Structures are given as structure tokens and as C-alpha cells.
Amino acid sequence: MVHRRKHGTKIIHSAELAKLGDVSRATIYRYAELGLLSPGRTDDRGLTFDESSVDIVRLIQRLKEKPFRYSLSQIRDDVCSKFPLRALIVMANLPVDQIQVCLNAAVSKNPGAQPCIWEDKKNERRGILIDKKFNETISSDEQDELDQLNEALDQYLDEIGPLPTEHSETL
């Protein structure tokens, strides 16, 4: 019997999520504890999750590996807090070099960098999005999610603003 939540998504238990995500149950519980996963009710078989949690677990694993090597706290604090979840999942399906550009623009806080580096990153990211649009390789839903990602990155870059001029003079 397939269990479904009210909105129609399949419910899976922590053991199944661990198997599908190729991680241990302890890892699933740790991700839930850190707020990276949102469990549903607990039943006699443990925590329950939406089936979309499989994509989240895979994304977290990908961000922890080369070339990103993000810690769980970096993923939670610097990445997940800045982007809508669906945009992150779309981003996880992009080639690694494109993900690196997006994430570097979002979480880099190098105090020794020149102020123009943020604008360079923004322009590089926009170029990638324009190329994707031009090639029409993504659906309209994916385009909407990439647009959300672009807006979130722009907001973040606007929040951090230009770096102090004293740093740019030393470079």
C-alpha cells in the first residue's frame, strides 16, 4: 500500500530514504536534526518524508563532495537559507562548472577580493542563464526556477555590497 500525503506526494520512511539516497539512517536523522530535511509524522517505522527528500539528500551529498566540499553547517547556513529548495534541486542537475559559478557567487566572502569580483560573478552567472535560454534546453518550469535562483543570488550580492576599498588597493 502506497501512503500519500494530502497533496499527493508519496510518503517514504527514513530507511527507504537512506537506501534511495545512498546514506545511512543516522545521516537522515542528522539532516533532519539540522533542518536540512523536513520529516513528517513519526510512526512505528520511524520518521516519514516526502519522496522529494530523495533529491534533497542527493543534493546535500553532492555539495559535500569535490569540488564544493561544503560542511553541513555551510549547506544549511550559507546555501539553503539563500535559495528556494526547488531552485537548488534544479541547480544540482546542472553541470558542475555551472553549479560552481552559482555557489561561488552566493557563498564566497573573500575579504581580499577586488570589489568588481562580485559583478564579474554576476555577469558570468547571467551569461550561463542566457546561454541556457538561447539553446532552449530547459523547460519553462526549470526556467522559472533558474530565474528565482538568479533573483536570490542578486539579492545576496546586493546584501553584501561592494567590498571595502582598502582591500582593492592592496591587490
Res 102 pLDDT > 80: no
Residue 74, domain member (yes or no): no
**Whether residues 161 and 91 fall in one domain:** yes
pLDDT band at 88 (very low <50, low <70, confident <90, very high): low
Res. 2: pLDDT tops 60: no
Boundary (domain end) residue, out of 21, 40, 69: 69
Percent pLDDT > 90 in the chain is 12
What does the buried/exposed string (b/e) look like for 52-90 if buried means 16 or more CB atoms within 10 Å of the residue's CB? ebbbbbbbbebbeeeebebebebbbebbbebbeebbbbb
Same domain, 149 and 104: yes
Most confident of 8-12, 26-30, 66-70, 125-129: 26-30
Give how many domains the chain has, as a whole number.
2
Q: Same domain for 34 and 58?
A: yes
Cα of 55 vs its chain's centroid, Å: 11
Last residue of a domain, one of 69, 104, 129: 69
The answer on 170 and 99 residing in a single domain is yes
* Model confidence band, residue 116 (pLDDT cutoffs 50, 70, 90): very low
Host domain of residue 5: 1-69
pLDDT grade, residue 76 (50/70/90)? confident
Euclidean distance between CA atoms 42 and 67, whole angstroms: 36
Pick the closest to residue 109 from 36, 161, 170, 149 (CA basis). 161
Residue 23: predicted pLDDT: 96
Is the residue at 61 inside a domain? yes
Q: Assess whether 144 and 86 both reside in one domain.
A: yes
On whether both 109 and 61 belong to a single domain, the answer is no
Do residues 96 and 65 share a domain?
no
pTM, 2 dp: 0.48
Give the CATH number for residue 44: 1.10.1660.10
Pair (29, 89) in one structural domain: no
Residue 76 lies in a domain: no
